Amino acid sequence: MSGQIVGYVRVSSSSQNFARQLEALGAVDELFEDRQSGKTRTQRPGLEEALRYVRRGDTLRVASMDRLARSLIDLEQIVSELTTPERGVSVEFVKERLTFSPGQSADPFATFQRQLIGAVAELERSLIRERQREGIDLAKARGVYKGRTRRLTDEQVAQVREAAAAGESKAKLAVDLGVSRRLIYDVLASNGAYAGTAE
């Protein structure tokens, strides 16, 4: 009896959608998702749940390597753990057209192939971040860089600070305003776009 096809998708923020990844995955028996960047596994509850769910004979299908892992070490650990004879789970990467099957963890060529492609993906992410930083530096030099746009008005900023001073929790403030807790902390600490706003 063949196992299940278990899909996993991830986007970096709640404003993005899974459409392209879902199209790449095709039909799956179960689907797990994360709507956050998450540099480590523990920061991606959907992935943790998927890894607990898969059983011997199942295939974990992901649109691309960078959706499963944020680093080469992370990629290597996840694939190696799943494809051990004990776990018996295959891992399929649609974009790269690669499937790693149980028992391959001891195959040096399969390991090299996985590490090489993962390293290329990691390098690509680094280059993108570097280009973004260079673009920001050039924009700052020209005096046209404005940073991130503010999500809250001056009035809302004042309300947040007043409520926090009165003991309101940051989590509740974030929910009430429909923003992240990180943004609330930025407002309270006058960071980023909220630097220099009236206290």
Q: Which residue has the tokens 């799956």?
A: 28
Whether 32 contacts 7, CB under 8 Å: yes
Cα four-point dihedral sign 42, 121, 118, 95: positive
**Assigned token pair, 199:** 């206290």
Question: What single DSSP character describes residue 12?
Answer: S
Whether 69 contacts 93, CB under 8 Å: no
Q: How many whole angstroms separate alpha carbon 13 and alpha carbon 185?
A: 18
- Can you state the angle between helices 154-165 and 181-189, rounded to 10 degrees? 90
**β-bridge pairing 90-93 and 30-35:** unpaired
Whether 183 contacts 192, CB under 8 Å: no
- Asked if 12 is an active-site residue, the reply is yes
Choice among 2, 12, 37, 101 that is catalytic:
12
Whether 97 contacts 86, CB under 8 Å: no
| Helix H or strand E encompassing 142 | helix 108-142
As annotated, the active-site residues are 12
